[in-house]
Amino acid sequence: MREFVITATKTMESYASKVAEYVTKFSSFASFAGKINGVGLLKTDCFADGEKEVVVDSSIRGKDVFIFACCARNEAGLGVDEAKIELYHAVDALKRAQAERLIIFEPYMSCSRSDRTTRRSSVGLWVHLKVLSSLGARHTVTYQLHSDKSKSMIDPARAVMDDIPALTLLKQRLCDVYIRNIDTLRDQVRNRWAFCSVDAGGEKLARNFSHSFGVQLVVAHKQRDYSRQNAVECVDILSSQPVEGKVLWVVDDMVDTAGSIETLIHALIPLKPAEINLMAVHPVFSPPAAERLKRLSSQGWLNHIIVTDTVCCEGVEDIPQLEVVPSAELSAKVIRTIATNSSMAKLLRDFNAELYLKTPTLFNRGE
């Protein structure tokens, strides 16, 4: 096993440090203690005209480098374009410093929504991946891509992508905090809960949750107003059973402006569910998402909001009932798997709530 370093652009330095802490706790990396955390390895210089230059501050020759970056809202406060340019410069600098293998770790790939190749427009995800691979990045890791088809944009002869299902983090949170034991799952959850998609495209994701917990599935069919961006005209609710008196969990891979969520909740309220909750992997929360979610919470229509920290939540912490599930430990496990050339099977397998709650070592992890 080669030596490796975990580093980050300015956008994810705190997150990368947390990941490095978890990695050093693995017994297989005891001999690497003190050598793994490379946060601060990259220095960014800015010229008077706004151009950038990234410098590698110490030798990484012959080492594997895991570099964390986020081009959405981030701890450094960089905009999307600036964050991408810094990442591209960092990749170039690390390759010139003769890193043996470079793994780009973008927990949330912000351009993943720009993946349509059928219209007369640029395809942001393809541009991003093409630039990274042309600069020498041969391996990219991300969490919960917006669409499975996105992975086909990478030529496997030039680069590879691992899309890790971060939905597992949300499911574990439900088990640890809201269910807690197998009896509650069997006697209450399976009779009173339902998982609801945000739209027809999200049915597969909602069905995934439904199968994991063995509960009712509700599908929302959304009609968009394509004359305006992020605008929804109406929502039809499809369910084999009434949702009256049910605890609904609306699930999605991301929440951007929360326009779809707001419209969906207004469509669900007349059906008289006991409560409505929201879960999403990526808390993008573009304006006016925070205001919409606060309004829904203050009106009593939205109870719990559960997301992960794949996108920095600084600036949106005041959203009522917001719970942020950490993902650094999962990222550390991904790094361990790659560094040791082990199988990803355990990280990719389907989650089963009943089996999880039967495992004593995993029970009460949320306490």
User: In which residue ranges of the chain is pLDDT below 50?
Assistant: 362-367
Contact 353, 185 (CB under 8 A): yes
Does 4-164 match 167-327+349-357 in CATH topology? yes
Query: How many C-beta atoms lie closer than 10 Å to residue 241's C-beta?
Result: 10
Q: 3-state DSSP call for residue 69?
A: coil
DSSP letters of 150-209?
GGGGS-TTT-EEEEE-THHHHHHHIIIIII-SHHHIIIIIHHHEEEEESSGGGHHHHHHH
Query: How many C-beta atoms lie closer than 10 Å to residue 235's C-beta?
Result: 18
For domain 4-164, which CATH number applies: 3.40.50.300, 1.10.1760.20, 3.30.450.370, 3.40.50.2020?
Answer: 3.40.50.2020
User: How distant, in Å, are the alpha carbons of 85, 170, 284, 333 from that of 251?
Assistant: 32, 10, 14, 25
Would residue 294 be called left, alpha or beta, if left means φ above 0 and alpha means ψ between -120 and 50 degrees?
A: alpha
* Phi, psi of 130, rounded to the nearest 5 degrees: -65, -45
Single out the residue of 110, 107, 27 nearest to residue 326, CA to CA. Answer: 107
Please report the pLDDT score of residue 114 as a whole number: 85
Please report the pLDDT score of residue 149 as a whole number: 78
pLDDT tens column, 220-235: 987 665 556 555 557 7
CA-based torsion, 198, 116, 164, 104: positive or negative: negative
Please report the pLDDT score of residue 363 as a whole number: 37
Please report the pLDDT score of residue 231 as a whole number: 55
Q: Which residues pair with 307 in a beta bridge?
A: 324
Please report the pLDDT score of residue 225 as a whole number: 59
Task: Provide the residue ranges of all domains of the chain, joining segments of one domain with +.
Answer: 4-164, 167-327+349-357
Distance CA 338, CA 69 (A): 18
Please report the pLDDT score of residue 62 as a whole number: 94
Please report the pLDDT score of residue 361 as a whole number: 52
pLDDT tens column, 138-186: 999 999 988 877 878 888 888 999 999 999 999 999 999 999 999 999 9
Contact 327, 310 (CB under 8 A): yes
Please report the pLDDT score of residue 267 as a whole number: 93
Please report the pLDDT score of residue 17 as a whole number: 96
Q: Which residues pair with 282 in a beta bridge?
A: 254
Q: Which residues have C-beta within 8 Å of that of residue 228, sequence separation ≥ 6? A: none
Please report the pLDDT score of residue 121 as a whole number: 84
Please report the pLDDT score of residue 233 as a whole number: 59
Please report the pLDDT score of residue 221 as a whole number: 85
For domain 167-327+349-357, which CATH number applies: 3.40.50.1820, 3.40.190.10, 3.40.640.10, 3.40.50.2020?
Answer: 3.40.50.2020
